[in-house]
Amino acid sequence: MTPKIERPLPPYLQIMQAIRAQITDGVLAAGTTVPSERQISSDWGVSRATATKVLAALRSEGLVESIQGVGTVVSAQASAGSSAQGRFTTMHRTGRIYAPGEYAKIVAAETVEATDEIAAALGVEPGAPVIRRRRVTYKDDAPVSASDSWFDGALADAAPKLLETERLTEGTPNYIQAATGRTYATGRDQVTARAATADEAARLDCEAGSPVRVGRNWLYDNEGAVVEYGESVSHSGRWASYDYEITGR
């Protein structure tokens, strides 16, 4: 299918977003050469100046890098340790959460008592039983992020697989929807940076005190109730990208 320019986004942004999606979805893996200025200009029917802006925008996001004698290639850091929003976008676009070369291991699935922080995040009482699923995500067999997903313990009866360390191949949102009828409708992400704790360093195979990117996210159902609360930590240098629309009144 011949690509074509659509409005109202500027042509260079449309092209950049198309190539970005190929990178984040794993179609273009780390080290893979991305289309050159000449190829972009030919494939999309745009000027070389527009093609230059496309590659510059991808470089500015840390998705690609220029290598002497090779050209522009996908950065090794491009898709690893992505945000919750990025994972859901990939899932809806490709039917899978992880890009080729990425996989996750569930290292714990258990019921614990909610701390004050987790209780507040899930909207339950402190000390109430909650489900914690702890995972480590790998890229080319190297750990790139570690995360915990938290659920109200009341889900244990309807969705017992949340307490199993086997991966939910259909994805947690699809499993919960099938088991309970609750659909993930909206999400909220927060990101900060700090030094890795000893536990985080062990899970990421790095030194305690190393700089890490920390995220937390809330996933809500159609009634605005929290279905899942997550916390994640990943190596520094890995960008999380967020796209959004700004509309006037």
The DSSP-derived string for 65-108 is EEETTTEEEE-TTSSTT--HHHHHHHHHHHS-SSPTTEEEEEEE
CA distance 124 to 224: 14
CATH code of the domain covering residue 190: 3.40.1410.10
Q: Which residues of 67-80 are buried (b: 16+ CB within 10 A; e: fewer)?
A: eeeeebbbbebbbb
**Is residue 167 one of the residues assigned to a domain?**
yes
**Among 54-68, 149-163, 169-183, the least confident range:** 54-68
**Is residue 5 one of the residues assigned to a domain?**
no
**Is residue 243 one of the residues assigned to a domain?**
no
CA distance 80 to 20: 14
pLDDT for the residue numbered 80: 47
- Looking at per-residue confidence, does 157 or 99 come out higher? 157
**Is residue 211 one of the residues assigned to a domain?**
yes
The boundaries of the domain holding residue 64 are: 11-74
Tell me: do 65 and 97 sit in the same domain: no
- Asked whether the bond before 35 is cis by omega within 30 degrees of 0, the reply is no
Tell me: do 68 and 98 sit in the same domain: no
Tell me: do 178 and 196 sit in the same domain: yes
Tell me: do 89 and 212 sit in the same domain: yes
**Is residue 240 one of the residues assigned to a domain?**
no
- Has this prediction a pTM greater than 0.75? no
**Is residue 67 one of the residues assigned to a domain?**
yes
Tell me: do 66 and 136 sit in the same domain: no
Count of domains observed in the chain: 2
**Is residue 119 one of the residues assigned to a domain?**
yes
Among 41, 74, 107, give the residue marking a domain's end: 74
| Averaged pLDDT for residues 122-128 | 94
Tell me: do 125 and 187 sit in the same domain: yes
Tell me: do 107 and 219 sit in the same domain: yes
Tell me: do 92 and 162 sit in the same domain: yes
Dump pLDDT digits (tens) for 20-65.
888 877 788 888 899 999 999 999 999 999 999 999 888 887 889 9
pLDDT > 90: percent of the chain: 52
**Is residue 88 one of the residues assigned to a domain?**
yes
CATH code of the domain covering residue 52: 1.10.10.10
Tell me: do 89 and 144 sit in the same domain: yes
Q: Are 22 and 16 in contact (CB under 8 A)?
A: no
Tell me: do 132 and 222 sit in the same domain: yes
pLDDT for the residue numbered 92: 61
Helix (H) / strand (E) element for 42: namely: helix 37-44
